């Protein structure tokens, strides 16, 4: 075998898994294409010890820490295929080369699909946001909006008044029930049924949304739940089971981050309905430790999932 473990995806989850395995002196290869989900944000918030740092700076620090461990190597390359081979796995890269390892940790994250509205995509991560805990504080109490994709928008519309005066834009996606309207009113959330036509403001900042009837509503930030999909199809190639999540499918894992396929572990946004850098790193810690234990306790990969 070329490596004990290949980790596919070198961001919060993958690098946290690598650290556990490095400290067990395992031969680890981290494959990464350098496109983490939060790359659109100027600062990452809430990651312990790193609050407010640039996402690329955090990853560079994590990689620098790992570089001190001689059994860890990195390749800035995409894994293209993955399959079971004997008591391990074979991963192929875009250049056609293949690498063998005894275990896999999948940590390649998800891709976001955004609503198709003029002025929205270019503001993603700056003034169009997915998570108030990550970026709501920086809006300094200014007015915020929630762009509905479905009824789930109620959740954000109930929370967001803690960050600023809130308007729920139902966008034709659903009609709140009288009971839901009472709950929103109790939180001070306004409800706007006329759809948003475009977002306006200088550069990537948001000043207002223009509605289809021409009215403008001032906003400092617009929150939405993107549709998510795995960043690539390697887990599908391996036939890992999935679950339906609120924004898209995610990999089914047990409490040790083992997927349904023996020897394949998964962590981070790819294997969770809760996108968060700290949670991704915590799951990576679990996956790294579990992959290590699997090498000892199930060396021939004979245990059933
Ligand atoms: C705009 C935005 C801002 C956010 N801000 C915050 C924040 O402030 N605080 C917070 O806690 N959370 C934030 N999040 C959520 C956070 O980004 C994710 O929870 C976190 O990045 C998940 O980490 P991960 O390691 O699972 O995946 P990612 O960070 O997405 O990393 C996956 C890695 O895998 C690589 N990859 C993909 N396919 C392959 C392949 N085939 N081969 C090799 N490598 C591959 C990618 O290039 C990438 O580097 C934000 C999300 C968004 C969308």
Nearest-CA residue for ligand 1 atom 1 is 125
Contacts of 87 (CB under 8 A, 6+ apart): 102, 299, 300, 301
Phi, psi for residue 26 in degrees, rounded to 5: -85, 150
Q: Which atom of ligand 1 is nearest to the CA of 78?
A: 42
pTM: 0.96
In the predicted model, what is the mean pLDDT of residues 16-26? Answer: 98
- With contact defined as beta carbons under 8 Å apart, do 78 and 232 qualify? yes
In the predicted model, what is the mean pLDDT of residues 116-125? Answer: 97
Query: Residue 304's pLDDT is what?
Result: 58
From the CA of 230, how far away is ligand 1's center (Å)? 11
Q: Please work out whether the CB of residue 30 comes within 6 Å of at least one atom of ligand 1.
A: no
- With contact defined as beta carbons under 8 Å apart, do 156 and 132 qualify? yes
From the CA of 269, how far away is ligand 1's center (Å)? 7
**Does the pLDDT of residue 252 top 90, yes or no?**
yes
From the CA of 284, how far away is ligand 1's center (Å)? 12
Confidence of residue 40 (pLDDT cuts 50, 70, 90): very high
**Does the pLDDT of residue 305 top 90, yes or no?**
no
Q: Please work out whether the CB of residue 82 comes within 6 Å of at least one atom of ligand 1.
A: no
In the predicted model, what is the mean pLDDT of residues 44-66? Answer: 95
- With contact defined as beta carbons under 8 Å apart, do 186 and 211 qualify? no
């Amino acid at each position: 075998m070329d490596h004990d473990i290949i980790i596919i995806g070198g961001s919060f989850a993958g690098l946290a898994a690598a650290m556990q395995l490095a400290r067990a002196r395992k031969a680890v290869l981290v494959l990464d294409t350098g496109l983490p989900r939060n790359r659109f944000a100027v600062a990452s918030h809430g990651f312990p010890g790193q609050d407010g740092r640039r996402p690329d700076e955090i990853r560079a620090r994590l990689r620098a820490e790992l570089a001190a461990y001689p059994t860890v190597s990195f390749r800035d390359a995409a894994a293209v295929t993955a399959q079971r081979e004997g008591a391990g796995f074979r991963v192929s890269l875009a250049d056609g080369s293949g690498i063998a390892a005894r275990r896999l940790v999948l940590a390649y994250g998800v891709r976001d699909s955004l609503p198709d509205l003029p002025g929205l995509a270019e503001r993603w991560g700056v003034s169009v946001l997915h998570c108030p805990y990550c970026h709501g504080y920086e809006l300094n109490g200014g007015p915020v909006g929630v762009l509905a994709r479905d009824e789930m928008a109620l959740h954000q519309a109930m929370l967001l008044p803690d960050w600023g005066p809130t308007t729920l834009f139902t966008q034709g996606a659903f009609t709140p029930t009288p009971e839901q309207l009472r709950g929103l009113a109790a939180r001070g959330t306004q409800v706007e049924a006329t759809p948003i036509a475009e977002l306006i403001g200088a550069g990537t900042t948001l000043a207002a949304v223009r509605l289809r009837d021409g009215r403008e509503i001032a906003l400092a930030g617009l929150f939405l739940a993107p549709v998510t999909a795995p960043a690539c199809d390697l887990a599908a190639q391996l036939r890992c089971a999935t679950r339906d999540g609120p924004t898209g499918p995610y990999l089914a894992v047990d409490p040790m981050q083992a997927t349904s396929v023996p020897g394949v572990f998964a962590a981070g946004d790819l294997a969770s309905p809760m996108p968060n850098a700290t949670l991704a790193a915590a799951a990576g810690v679990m996956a790294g430790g579990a992959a290590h234990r699997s090498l000892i306790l199930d060396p021939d990969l004979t245990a059933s999932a």
